[in-house]
Amino acid sequence: MAIFRLNHAVLYVRDVSESVAFYRDVLGFGYIEGGDAYQGAAFLRAPGSTNDHDLGLFQIGAEAGPSGAGQSTVGLYHLAWEVDTLGDLQDLAKTLADAGALVGQSDHGTTKSLYGKDPNGLEFEIVWLIPSGLLTDEDRNKSGVSRLDLTTEVAKYGREARSGLGISRPNE
């Protein structure tokens, strides 16, 4: 398969200004000036990204109903964005909680994740991957999902621990 990375995502939103404010102020995306070439649209770039844009937002209006994806319709469950360090994940946990947008925290063994919802109720994941050199047998063999204890993870790996690549598992 030739595909190796997601370049950008496009979301339909009720109010593009409200959504831009959320993704800019809470998640740190940068607004791309001149990106509103389409009426009711905005384009944003993740910090450090070299993409033209990582997120496109298209306004469909206040009358738009909530997404039924996963409940009454098929559709996308969530997008997952990686952070560079475990400290970044810890900082975002507080930022999301303060914004009332944190809806879950999960330990998947090799990955540590936060789940949030934007003003439209669209869910997203923020993930930090244990670098392969720091993986323990316990991490590799963990089955299921448990609640993330960020304080314990930071004590174990340190705030400056850089995220791994892929799922940080050796080739099998």
Query: What per-residue confidence (pLDDT) applies to 38?
Result: 62
The answer to whether residues 90 and 148 belong to one domain is yes
CATH number at residue 115: 3.30.720.110
Does residue 67 form part of some domain?
no
Supply φ then ψ for residue 126, to 5 degrees: -115, 125
The answer to whether residues 83 and 22 belong to one domain is no
The answer to whether residues 29 and 86 belong to one domain is no
Query: What per-residue confidence (pLDDT) applies to 164?
Result: 86
CATH number at residue 42: 3.10.180.10
Query: What per-residue confidence (pLDDT) applies to 169?
Result: 47
Q: Which residues pair with 30 in a beta bridge?
A: 45
Query: What per-residue confidence (pLDDT) applies to 143?
Result: 79
Which residue segment(s) compose the domain that 100 sits in? 79-157
Query: What per-residue confidence (pLDDT) applies to 167?
Result: 62
Q: What burial letters (b/e) apply to 12-35, b meaning 16+ CB within 10 Å?
A: bbbbbebbbebbeebbbbbbbeeb
Handedness of CA 159, 161, 162, 167 (dihedral sign): negative
Per-residue pLDDT of the chain (172 residues; tens, 9 = 90+): 688 778 999 999 999 999 999 999 999 999 887 655 567 899 999 998 999 999 999 999 999 999 889 899 999 899 999 999 999 999 999 999 999 999 999 999 889 999 999 999 999 999 999 988 888 888 778 778 999 999 999 999 999 999 987 665 444 3
State the pTM of this model. 0.89
169 Cβ partners below 8 Å, 6+ apart? Answer: 110, 132, 135, 140
The answer to whether residues 32 and 83 belong to one domain is no
Q: Within 38-164, where are the H helices?
A: 86-98, 137-141, 150-157
Number of domains in the chain: 2
91 Cβ partners below 8 Å, 6+ apart? Answer: none
Does residue 162 form part of some domain?
no
